[in-house]
Structure 1
């Protein structure tokens, strides 16, 4: 079986204090960190033992995982397993990058977010160039707030041309066509993020070939649908895997709507769905989605 797992353990602490994030500068207690470490190691052990499956893993922690040694070890370990096709992680890239020399560059990938004001620009940029020099697959993105536009333009100019710069529509922010234009000039795929996507009753790969897993091993179809499919560790989830329609009215997060079968994003991101890397450098003549409702 080919299976994609989005893992989110109990870790909720972050070393940044972004004003648009509810987990900014949150501190986990030592006990909470121990529990997160144990949960991640249990998950990694499970993945290592599932040699009969082809696995792809995306770590989507609420906090910043790669500043924790157990996340770095998990990424390295999984990347070196022959039945793991991809292991990717969302990160603010505040961690060092030398540990990636131990990972398999053909399997590991990073989804990096630049947060202006949280880290010196030159430090962040230097790390992206180090990733490129190491041959690590990665994308870089920003939240599309007006005050981030000039930072994003500078970043696009300084990143290697082959590195995709993505832009996430800011939560609760409505973009006029005029406001969206400069973001689309930077990221021709921004129209997919600009509007939420109608999803009710539409086919989605989540719940069939893509699932969400929490620290206790509870399996759900995705992070945004709370209904449980079973548990990872007793294999009870497998009998629930099947094609199914989305029960929600709309989906406005990339890690959710990328799996909608009504969108062409598996073709757009072929080979890089988890790390958000398009198959080809996106161009400005990509079609805009006209059927998506505007954000309210």
Structure 2
């Protein structure tokens, strides 16, 4: 079967200090970093040895992974495995990029977030250009705060047309229709992020073809439902894979609601669900209708 894994180890340190992030400028101890590295290497070894499924892997660290050599190495190694369809990571792109030459660029991809005020605009744009030169699939996005509006417009003007610029609704921020329209002009899919999606009792791919794995190998249906359904390394998770409705009231994070079967996002992102790259070029992207029952 095709199995998507969202992996999140214990890493929680970041080199940025974004005021909207609880992990800003957090430092992991040497021992915590060793633990994270051992956990990731164990996961990478498991992925290399298992042959039952075709894998797609998205790394979603609380902190910034690509400044750590073991995350770069994991992406390179996994990208060359014949049974890995895609391996991607969420990153602020503060790392160097030339290591991607060693990866299979038909398989590796990056989900990049631009944080105005944390990195010079020119430096960030230069790195996206380098990704393009290397032939790496990637998307770029921003958090939809008012102060990010002008930097996002400038970024859109400097990115190639085919690079998707996504906008995440800021947590706790209420958007007027006028504000939402402005962000939608930048990202036609912003309406899906604007409001949480009702999910209670609705069918979701998580727990069936999508799972969340932590550094200890605990398997859950997704990052947001804490109930364990099995363990990765003893194989007990496999017996638990089955269709199951969402037990939560609402889902407000893209890495969660993208898997809801009631939303059309698997069609919108066909071939690029993990790295948030839509099937159609942004300039030609039709505006999907957000289901009326999908907003909370």
Same fold (TM over 0.5): yes
Aligned to 1:286: 287
Query: Can you list the C-alpha shifts for 1:199-251, whole angstroms capped at 9, x where unaligned?
Result: 00000000000000000000000000001011000001111100000000000
Please list, as runs of the form range in 1=range in 2, the aligned pairs for 1:107-118 lying within 5 A after superposition.
107-118=107-118
Aligned to 1:215: 215
Bigger mean CA offset, 72-81 vs 273-282? 273-282
2:89 aligned with 1:97, yes or no?
no
Please list, as runs of the form range in 1=range in 2, the aligned pairs for 1:55-66 lying within 5 A after superposition.
55-66=55-66
User: Once superposed, which parts of structure 1, at least 4 consecutive aligned residues long, lie more than 6 Å away?
Assistant: none
Structure 1 gaps of 5+ residues are: none
Aligned to 1:137: 137
Aligned to 1:41: 41
Q: CA deviation at 1:135?
A: 0.5
Please list, as runs of the form range in 1=range in 2, the aligned pairs for 1:61-76 lying within 5 A after superposition.
61-76=61-76
2:171 aligned with 1:171, yes or no?
yes
Distance, in Å, in 1 between the alignment partners of 2:233 and 2:293 is 40
Distance, in Å, in 2 between the alignment partners of 1:78 and 1:240 is 25
Please list, as runs of the form range in 1=range in 2, the aligned pairs for 1:170-189 lying within 5 A after superposition.
170-189=170-189
Relative distance call for 1:135 and 1:267 in structure 2 (3 A) is same
8 Å CA contact 1:185–1:284 kept in 2: the answer is no
**Partner SS state of residue 293, structure 2:** coil
**Partner SS state of residue 151, structure 1:** helix
Q: CA deviation at 1:292?
A: 3.5
Q: CA deviation at 1:288?
A: 4.1
**Partner SS state of residue 259, structure 1:** coil
Distance, in Å, in 1 between the alignment partners of 2:294 and 2:174 is 13
**Partner SS state of residue 10, structure 1:** coil
Distance, in Å, in 2 between the alignment partners of 1:29 and 1:232 is 26
Query: Can you list the C-alpha shifts for 1:143-181, whole angstroms capped at 9, x where unaligned?
Result: 000000000000000001100000000001111101111
2:54 aligned with 1:54, yes or no?
yes
Aligned to 2:190: 190
Query: Can you list the C-alpha shifts for 1:20-73, whole angstroms capped at 9, x where unaligned?
Result: 000000000000000000000000000000123200000000000000000000
Query: Can you list the C-alpha shifts for 1:254-274, whole angstroms capped at 9, x where unaligned?
Result: 000000000000000000000
Aligned to 1:126: 126
Cα-Cα RMSD? 0.9
2:243 aligned with 1:243, yes or no?
yes
